[in-house]
Structure formats: C-alpha cells, structure tokens
Amino acid sequence: MERVVIEENNLSLSRIEEKCIHCGVCLKTCQTYNNLKEKDCLNCGQCILTCPTGALVPKFDYKKVLNYLHDTDYTLVVLTSPAVRVAIGDEFGYEAGTFLEGKMVSSLKALGFDYVFDTTFGADLTIMEEANELVNKIKNNEKPLFTSCCPSWVLYMQKYHPNDVKYLSSCKSPIAMLGAMVKTYFADYNEIDAKKIITVALTPCVSKKTEMAKYQDVDFVITTRELAMMLRESEIDFTQLVDAEFDKLMGTGSGAGLIFASSGGVMEAALRTAYYMLNKVKAPDAFYKLESIRGEKDFVEAEIDMQVKKIKIAVINKIVNVEKNYEILKNYDFIEVMSCPGGCIGGGGQPILATNALESCRQKRIASIYAKDENKKIKESFLNPEIQDAYRTYISKKEVKLHTSHETEVKN
C-alpha cells in the first residue's frame, strides 16, 4: 500500500523500515488530517500515533540531551509546554488527563536540569505580542490575522498559500520566545554567558523539532515520549516523585498561557488580553468560558463584542478543514489554526495509546487543562506578575527577538 513519504532529512520524524508492513495507515491518517495535494509531510506526526507497528517515531534527540546533563560546563534549562503535564501520566499508569505538573517538574530536576521554566510563561508572552497585533488591526480596520504558533500550519501556508503568508502573526511561538528570553533575560539576570546555556524544549510536538532547527531559539526539542524514555533509562521512578515547583523568573504562567495547549485556547487567551488593551477594563465573564470554540471541533465561528467593535473569529482544527474553508477565511478578523486534533494536547510527540482510546484521552486532557484555568487566580497574560516584570525591567529596554518574518522564508 502507498505510504506517507518521509524524507531522509526530515528533522521531526522518521520511519524504521524493518518495522514497516506497508499497511498504508499512515497515508490514510495524513489524508484524514491534512489531505494535501502533494504527498509531502507537514511534520505534525499524527501518523506516529496511528502506525500499528511503531515503525514511525519522532526523531529522538534525548540522548544528546542526556550527554549535556552530565557536563558541568553548561547550565541546563528546560522549558515545559502545557500539554506535557496532562499526558506524561499515560506512560506511568495514571488515569488519562491527570494533571501532573509538580511531578513533571520534579522529574526534570531529578534528571539533572538546573532550571525548569514554564512555556506557559512563553505563551503569555506570545499573547501580549499577538493581542497587540490584533488590537492594531482592529484599530486600523484591517483583517485577517492568523495565529502562527503551530509550525505545521505555518509550513502549510508557506507551501500552499505563499501569497497569504503575510496574514500570519509575526509572533514567534511560545517556545521560541521563551528560548530567546533564556539566552538574554535569564542569562543577564544570572550573569551567565549565554554560550554556556543549553536550552531544551519539552513538548507534545514533533513539528517543533524542525521549527527550532530553523530558528535556533532553543538547542534541543524533546517530546513527552522522550521524557518518559529518559526517566526509564535513568531509572527514575516517576510515580514516587514528590511535587516540585518551577523556578522563578519565568516559571509562572497564567490560565491563559495554560489553555494554549488546547484547540480554541490561543483564541480565548488572546481575546482576554486584547479586550483589556482596547478598553482598559477586564473582559466580561463570557471571555473566560468561550465554550463554543473549545474542544475538537473542525471549524467554529463566533462574533465577539470587543466594545469598540464586533469582530468575527474562527477556530479551525486540522489542516483538512482549512483547505475546505479557505475561500472564506479572509472574511474573519482573527483565525486560530491547530493542525493536531484537539490542539497540542493531541500532538504527535505524546505517548502512544490504543487508537480507539485516542479521542477520549484527548477529551480528558482538554477537560483537565480547562479545570486548572478555572482554578487559577490569574487568568490573563497581562496580569502575570513575571510577565509584567519582564516587560518593565527588560523587554522595554533591550532588544529581544520575539518576532519573525514568515514571508522571508517563502522567498528563500
């Protein structure tokens, strides 16, 4: 049977040929989620989760990280994406969706990382910058603005709609922003030579491996599965670990940063901050429970009253649903696209499960993320005290590269 084509130089995933039985499931998966005209790869890694023999795997980078963990010349910093803490438990016998932030942090400390920062802080940073872009577009009566935090979606635009790449937000993704902050803000704060810092992004995403190789904001990207492999190889019993907390400076994320993990979350998070930027008052309660755009819906639209103006938004799950609706996308003011089902909680670097358990497991991860947002004292990026400190003491004074041009890459 025909299979998904994975080039030798693919930095996100690879195929172990001896394990492949040529069943064609990977191509079927790719058609379900992406349905590309060419049979090329967007690096989302969904085929990894459905391959029946385990022939498809993330490009594993954790061995290189393990080598640095034993090198005292370097300061090792790990950045943890929000979707990892609700999935790592699948590797160690926990109920699907169990929120294991404390144990995740403590497992990374046990492995030897010197600092554990939270990518939900990076997500808050992205929201600050992206909400600002949205506010400017609203004020200037311009549209649309497309989110840019999913690298597979960005790659799809660059390959299939190069003339519309200009509508993508110029914001780097949360990992890239946080990576840039580690080598500047954190390095200066602690008077460490940036060349002696190794940053590792721990993510649910295999696409980030390619994205980060391009931007070089972090040194290595490892997946949730790779964390489990590192723990097993280091003989660390995850279940016995005592909860630990993130390190200060960039270890606090708001509820808005946390819900980035789930489809619709980026939109909801950005609207909370954009509303405040436009009106200088907190958004109405409805902005904190935008149920209609949450979850795993293919395409959902809504009208949002931003007080100065009503805007039209759309949230799209899976690239196949972008293509089906492409003609109408420019009618919306703000559009979020995530290529994995349910958003990053369903990423290709998450633990392998029985395929008939995937959907219910994603639902449990989503529920777990939103339950935490509901209990968070701070649910808005602009109210995160560490974000406020970072802008006041550093970002407003020094140059930190938080933006990029997705168009430049098309031309290159």
Is residue 267 at the binding interface for ligand SF4, with CB under 6 A as the rule?
A: no
Positions of E strands within 51-135 = 56-58, 75-80, 115-118
The strands making up 220-223's β-sheet, listed across from edge to edge, are 115-118, 75-80, 197-203, 220-223
Q: Is 15 in the site for ligand SF4 (CB under 6 A)?
A: yes
Binding mask 173-212 for ligand SF4 (x = CB under 6 A): -------------------------------xx-x-----
Q: Of 153 and 185, which has the nearer Cβ to ligand SF4?
A: 153
128-167 residues near ligand SF4, rule: CB under 6 A:
150-152
CA atoms of 236 and 11, how far apart (whole Å): 28
Residue least distant from ligand SF4 (Cβ): 347
Query: Which residues within the stretch 41-80 sit at the binding site for ligand SF4 (CB under 6 A)?
Result: 44, 51-53, 55-56
Residue numbers 341-400 binding ligand SF4 by CB under 6 A: 343-344, 347
Does the footprint of ligand SF4 cover residue 339 (CB under 6 A)?
A: yes
Residue 168 binds to ligand SF4 (criterion: CB under 6 A): no
Interface residue with ligand SF4, options 79, 145, 340, 358 (CB under 6 A) = 340
Q: At what angle do helices 101-111 and 224-233 cross, to 10 degrees?
A: 50
Instruction: Report the SS3 class of residue 109.
Output: helix
Within 8 A by CB and 6+ apart from 272, the residues are: 256, 283, 287, 288, 379, 380, 381
Task: Report yes or no: 340 and 261 within 8 Å, Cβ to Cβ.
Answer: no
Residue from 13, 26, 76, 304 in contact with ligand SF4 (CB under 6 A): 26
Distance CA 98, CA 205 (A): 19
Please give the size of the binding site for ligand SF4, defined by CB under 6 A. 27
Which of 260, 320, 328, 323 is closest to 294 using CA atoms? 260
Nearer to ligand SF4, 30 or 313 (CB): 30
- Smallest distance from ligand SF4 to CB 369, Å: 13
Q: What is the nearest approach in angstroms of ligand SF4 to the Cβ of residue 269?
A: 14
Applying CB under 6 A, does 23 fall inside the site for ligand SF4? yes
DSSP category for residue 63: H
The CA R_g of the chain, rounded to the nearest whole Å, is 20
- Residue ranges in contact with ligand SF4 by CB under 6 A: 3, 15, 20-26, 44, 51-53, 55-56, 150-152, 204-205, 207, 338-340, 343-344, 347
